[in-house]
Amino acid sequence: MRLSQRPFLTGLAGLSSAALIFTATPATAAAPDDGVSVTAAKQCSETPRELPINQFTDHRELGVELARIERVSAGKVDVEQIGRSNRGREVWSARVGTGRKAVLITSEIHGNEKTGTDAILQLLDWVGTSDSAKAKRWRSELTIVAIPKMNPDGAELDRRGNDMTWQEVVAQFPQLSTSQPAWNYYTRPQQGDDYATRPGFDVNRDYHPDLNYLPRPQDFPGSSAQTGWYITPESRIVRDVYRGLKAEFGKVDTYVDLHHQGACYVMPDDPDEFVTMSISGKFVDNPATTPGYEKYAKDYDLDYSKRLNVAVNTALQAAANNRPVFGNITLYPQDINLPGTGLGSFALNGSGAVLFEVRGQTQTLGQKYRAVLTQGVYIGLDGMLSAIASGQVHRLNPADYDRIPPRGPNIGTPGADDAAADARIVAY
């Protein structure tokens, strides 16, 4: 079935966040088992399993839907092929708006984290076709560039990493012929996928804040606390789009990366409630006091990232008045230093940064609860983009970010892959 025929997208695309909220459940009635509001008293497992995902948008359907959105928007949404993955699949961007505030949004850097792509399609459909005052304000104040499914090879394999061997890296960068493989190169089972027969990289560790960086042998194998190298075509594609926007606008106002996390995290003050989403604006140590990163200090603006995340949380908490599950929002752990991620690297370049970590990856939830989780991503993006377009984001208090509760513990039963997980692999 073509994506444009699916009732989920055609029924929800183009609606405001308020219109997307389901009917509230009366306090005296039993809450629906939507898998997000389900109580933690029920069993929760992080064991990788083969679960259905066919309702999510695949690569072919993405191309069909982007073409449809470009057509029905009468050119307001401009779709462009911006490159190809390592296995030759098209990577597309969609651009809408003519404003001076550039916002870059990416999804599926990890191919088993899929709700972001569906939320982006809904967002593009609405902002490209709506004649509402809100949509017109977005288009006049913002230039939104979305790269949905930026790791299509991993997405088609429904796995975290891309599809690329170290030998293919060396063929592109002969200077690395005597280097050890990068630390984020997967060659053994991970999350139920056998990388031993089809290796790949965690693309979300392949960024560098120096947008002109070229791989150097002495920088390998590296570590999670160090920068990446732009050795994968997928990271280079996003880097090049970011670099082009920076040249065009002087800076990229905001960068948003849409992810998933474990299925079994609970709220810190209510262990009977699962976390619907964790968010964050902090990905690197303060560059002003970090040796080697001082040159990025003048552009780094953690307070702005916090304000953006406050806008996301405010929208979701408002939606929780009708659908309480949207109130189960926490901060992602704040004690991380990941300059090799897109969020870390682009934050060092002066962009406000926002991480969405939706509950459950495909190997733990499959397509279950797809609609409500995608809806949460849409609501958060809607609130953030509205705040940027109106200027309200600058009136938000960054101290409210620090009041968002921390993520509670994971109560899930670990599977064999989890127990043997390499300590190098960081959560997102």
* Structure tokens given for 361: 């990856």
347 found inside a domain? yes
Closest CA to 173 of 229, 120, 226: 229
CB atoms under 10 Å from CB of 22, counted, come to 15
305 found inside a domain? yes
284 found inside a domain? yes
379 found inside a domain? yes
Mean pLDDT across the stretch 349-357?
Answer: 98
**For residue 282, what is the DSSP state?**
-
> How many domains would you assign to the chain?
1
245 found inside a domain? yes
Q: Which of helix, strand or coil describes residue 127?
A: helix
Q: What is the pLDDT of residue 42?
A: 63
Tell me the per-residue pLDDT of 268-281, one tens digit each, with 9 for 90 and over.
999 999 999 999 99
CB atoms under 10 Å from CB of 6, counted, come to 17
Place of tokens 């404003």: 99
Q: Is the pTM of this model over 0.85?
A: yes
Q: Is the pLDDT of residue 30 over 60?
A: no
Tell me the per-residue pLDDT of 362-410, one tens digit each, with 9 for 90 and over.
999 999 999 999 999 999 999 999 999 999 999 999 999 999 999 999 9
**For residue 42, what is the DSSP state?**
S
Report whether 266 contacts 237 (CB < 8 A).
no
Closest CA to 386 of 180, 172, 135: 135
Tell me the per-residue pLDDT of 179-201, one tens digit each, with 9 for 90 and over.
999 999 999 998 889 999 999 99
Tell me the per-residue pLDDT of 249-272, one tens digit each, with 9 for 90 and over.
999 999 999 999 999 999 999 999
Instruction: Name, in order, each residue with C-beta under 8 angstroms of 380's C-beta and a sequence gap of 6 or more.
Output: 277, 279, 312, 313, 315, 316, 356
Closest CA to 349 of 297, 309, 286: 297
Report the CATH number that the domain containing residue 211 is assigned in CATH: 3.40.630.10
118 found inside a domain? yes
Mean pLDDT across the stretch 90-111?
Answer: 98
The parent domain of residue 336 ranges over 50-419
31 found inside a domain? no
Q: Is the pLDDT of residue 225 over 70?
A: yes
70 found inside a domain? yes
Q: Is the pLDDT of residue 230 over 70?
A: yes
- The half-sphere exposure of 66 on its side-chain side, counting CA atoms within 13 A, is 25
Report whether 356 contacts 258 (CB < 8 A).
yes
